[in-house]
C-alpha cells in the first residue's frame, strides 16, 4: 500500500473511532425518540402502580415524550422485570421494581435473570413500610390479641400478601418466627386483589404495603394492628410499630427504584436520573405519597447499586433462616 493509501486508511479509522466515541453522546441527545414505558410487575391498585402513575405525567412533561405505565403481572413482579431485562438497552423501557422481585424472589427460587447484572439502576425512588391489617369481624384489636388467637388456633388463620417472596411475605414469616405462631400464607398476584378479598371478608389478615391499606383503614373497612418499620407512619400516627405492640426488635421495610436494561448508555441513564430526581422532589409528588405512608428516597445509580447488593446479602440470610429456599 502506497503512502496515499495508508493516509486514507488512517483517516478512515480516525473517523470511525470518532463516530464510536460520539455514539453515546448522540444517543443521549436523541433520547427519547419515542414514548417511554414504565413496566410494573403488579396489577393496578398496588404501591408500584400508584408510584409509577404519579410520576409518569411529570416525566412526560420533562422528557417531551409520553411516558406510559404498563402492568405485566405475575411471579411476584418477576415477569415484568424479565420483560425489561430483554428490552433494547436504549432507555425507552424502564422498570419500577424493588425488594420483592429483585431481591427476595431470587433468594427463594430460580429467576431467569440476575438483577445485579442484567438491570442498570437509574435511581432509588421510595421507601415504605408494610402494615398488618385485619377484617373488622376478626375478634382482635391489637397485635398481642392476634398472636393469642393464632396460638389458640394453630394454622387456622390465613394471612394474605402480594405474592410468594414479596416483602409482605417475608415480613409475615419474620412475624411468625418471632411470635412463635403458625399461620397459613395465601399469596396473591398483587396488593390490589388481596385488599379486595380482605375487605370482602374472604381473608382474615393482610400484610400489606402501607399505601395500599391507608384508604381502607381510614374508611373503617380494615383494622390496622401495627406497621413493620422502626417508626410510626405519618398517615396513621395512632397505629404502633410491631416492635412497640408486641415484638421488640422487629423491623421490615420495603423500597422501590427505577431500572433500565443493562448496557443502556450512561448518558441516557444520567438524563433519566436527573429527570426522576427532579420529579421526586416536587411537592405535588412528595405530599400525595407521604399521605399514603410512602417516603421519596432518591439515590444515585452508584448508591442504589451498592444498596441493592447489601439488601441481597441481608435478605438471603432471612430466607435461609425461614427455610423458604426452593432450589
Could you report the per-residue pLDDT of 215-224, keeping only the tens digit for each?
999 999 999 9
pLDDT of residue 124: 96
Mean pLDDT confidence for 89-98: 97
Give pLDDT, residue 326: 73
State the chain's mean pLDDT as an integer. Answer: 90
Measure the CA–CA gap between 278 and 274, rounded to whole angstroms.
6
CA distance 90 to 262: 10
Say how many C-beta atoms besides its own lie within 10 A of residue 13's C-beta: 10
Cell of 264: 443502556
- Please tell me the pTM assigned to this model: 0.79
Task: List Cα–Cα distances, 276 to 56, 125, 162, in angstroms.
Answer: 10, 8, 26
**Measured between alpha carbons, how far is residue 259 from residues 95, 112, 123, 150 in Å?**
5, 17, 7, 40
Domains, the chain, ordered by start? 32-128+254-322 (3.40.190.150), 129-245 (3.40.190.10)
Q: For residues 89 and 170, give the distance between their C-alpha atoms in angstroms, rounded to a whole number.
A: 32
Query: Which pLDDT score, from 0 to 100, does residue 80 have?
Result: 96
pLDDT in tens, 8-25: 555 555 445 444 444 444
- Which pLDDT score is estimated for 9? 59
d(CA 38, CA 95): 5
Contact predicate 276/258, CB 8 Å: yes
Q: Label residue 155 left, alpha or beta by phi (over 0 means left) and psi (-120 to 50 means alpha).
A: left
**Cα–Cα distance, 39 to 207 (Å, whole number):** 24
Q: What pLDDT shows up at residue 18?
A: 44
- Whether the per-residue pLDDT at 191 is higher than 60: the answer is yes
Amino acid at each position: 500500500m502506497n503512502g496515499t493509501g495508508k493516509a486514507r486508511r488512517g483517516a478512515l479509522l480516525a473517523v470511525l473511532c470518532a463516530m464510536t466515541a460520539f455514539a453515546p453522546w448522540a444517543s443521549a441527545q436523541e433520547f427519547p425518540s419515542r414514548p417511554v414505558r414504565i413496566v410494573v410487575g403488579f396489577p393496578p391498585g398496588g404501591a408500584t402502580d400508584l408510584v409509577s402513575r404519579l410520576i409518569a405525567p411529570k416525566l412526560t412533561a420533562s422528557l417531551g415524550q409520553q411516558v406510559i405505565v404498563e402492568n405485566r403481572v405475575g411471579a411476584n413482579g418477576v415477569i415484568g422485570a424479565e420483560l425489561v431485562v430483554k428490552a433494547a438497552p436504549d432507555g425507552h423501557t424502564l422498570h419500577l421494581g424493588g425488594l420483592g422481585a429483585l431481591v427476595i424472589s431470587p433468594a427463594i427460587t430460580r429467576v431467569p435473570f440476575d438483577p445485579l447484572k442484567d438491570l442498570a439502576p437509574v435511581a432509588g425512588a421510595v421507601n415504605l413500610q408494610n402494615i398488618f391489617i385485619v377484617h373488622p369481624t376478626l375478634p382482635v384489636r391489637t397485635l398481642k390479641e392476634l398472636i393469642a388467637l393464632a396460638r389458640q388456633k394453630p394454622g387456622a388463620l390465613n394471612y394474605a400478601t402480594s405474592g410468594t417472596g414479596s416483602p409482605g411475605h417475608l415480613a409475615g414469616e419474620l412475624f411468625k418466627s418471632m411470635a412463635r405462631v403458625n399461620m397459613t400464607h395465601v399469596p396473591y398476584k398483587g396488593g390490589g386483589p388481596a385488599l379486595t378479598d380482605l375487605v370482602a371478608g374472604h381473608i382474615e389478615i393482610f400484610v400489606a404495603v402501607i399505601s395500599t391499606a391507608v384508604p381502607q383503614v381510614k374508611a373503617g373497612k380494615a383494622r390496622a394492628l401495627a406497621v413493620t418499620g422502626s417508626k410510626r407512619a405519618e398517615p396513621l400516627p395512632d397505629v404502633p410499630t410491631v416492635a412497640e405492640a408486641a415484638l421488640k426488635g422487629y423491623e421490615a421495610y420495603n423500597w422501590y427504584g427505577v431500572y433500565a436494561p443493562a448496557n443502556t448508555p450512561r448518558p441516557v441513564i444520567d438524563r433519566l436520573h436527573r429527570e426522576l430526581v427532579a420529579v421526586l422532589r416536587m411537592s405535588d409528588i412528595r405530599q400525595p405519597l407521604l399521605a399514603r405512608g410512602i417516603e421519596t428516597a432518591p439515590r444515585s445509580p452508584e448508591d442504589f447499586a451498592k444498596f441493592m447488593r447489601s439488601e441481597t446479602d441481608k435478605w438471603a440470610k432471612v430466607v435461609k433462616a425461614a427455610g423458604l429456599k426452593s432450589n
